[in-house]
Structure 1
Amino acid sequence: MPQGDKSKYTDKQKRQAEHIEESYEKKGLSEKEAEARAWATVNKNDGGGKQPGGSGRKKADI
């Protein structure tokens, strides 16, 4: 997954980022900075993309 790819995020996370971005833009931040801060906030709150298929450790065979 290339850097900046948002395909692993749920629809809810994408909506949250959009609303947060709009809020930052209303406060006077540039569009680029608002988007970066919005996704950082979503990552902080949820721990990143939630859809399966992302990187992670293999589960131990028991």
Structure 2
Amino acid sequence: MPQAWSGKRERQYEHIKDAQEDRGASTKRAKEIAARTVNKNRAQSGESREASPSSLNDKSPQERGGERSGNGKGPGGPTRDQLYNEAKKRNIDGRSKMTKKELERALGR
């Protein structure tokens, strides 16, 4: 944990990391998710020196609730990349040139 984090942010980091590990994430992945969440919260509350526009203007990780976490349950369903990876697993020919809609059709969605 960086020294710039307050005690509150360190506790938040540990809580998120432990929760991710309880859900089955590897230690490395749990640390990454926790650090990204804490850093985004710090940026949104003005605690960091620099912040990307997406960190400042987007929903907080808590509000987002995993919408874009790779599970395909966001407002637009799975992303084109997620569909592409599924098509790759199923060995669908011509997948690299397909649009999201075409991939959905090819996968039977």
TM-score by length of 2: 0.39
**Alpha-carbon shift at residue 45 of structure 1 (Å):** 1.3
Partner of 2:25: 29
Q: Partners in 2 of 1:15 and 1:33 — Cα distance?
A: 18
Q: Partners in 2 of 1:20 and 1:55 — Cα distance?
A: 23
**Alpha-carbon shift at residue 44 of structure 1 (Å):** 1.1
Return 5+ residue gaps in structure 2 as ranges.
51-109
Partner of 2:35: 39
Runs of 4+ in structure 1 deviating by more than 6 angstroms, as ranges, are: none
Give % identity.
35
Q: Partners in 2 of 1:46 and 1:8 — Cα distance?
A: 10
SS of alignment partner, residue 47 of structure 1: helix
RMSD: 2.2
- The residue correspondences of 1:1-62 to structure 2 (distance < 5 A) are 6-47=2-43, 50=47
Return 5+ residue gaps in structure 1 as ranges.
57-62
- Higher normalized helix content (fraction of residues): 2
Q: Highest relative contact order (Cα 8 Å, sep 6+), 1 or 2?
A: 1
TM-score by length of 1: 0.66
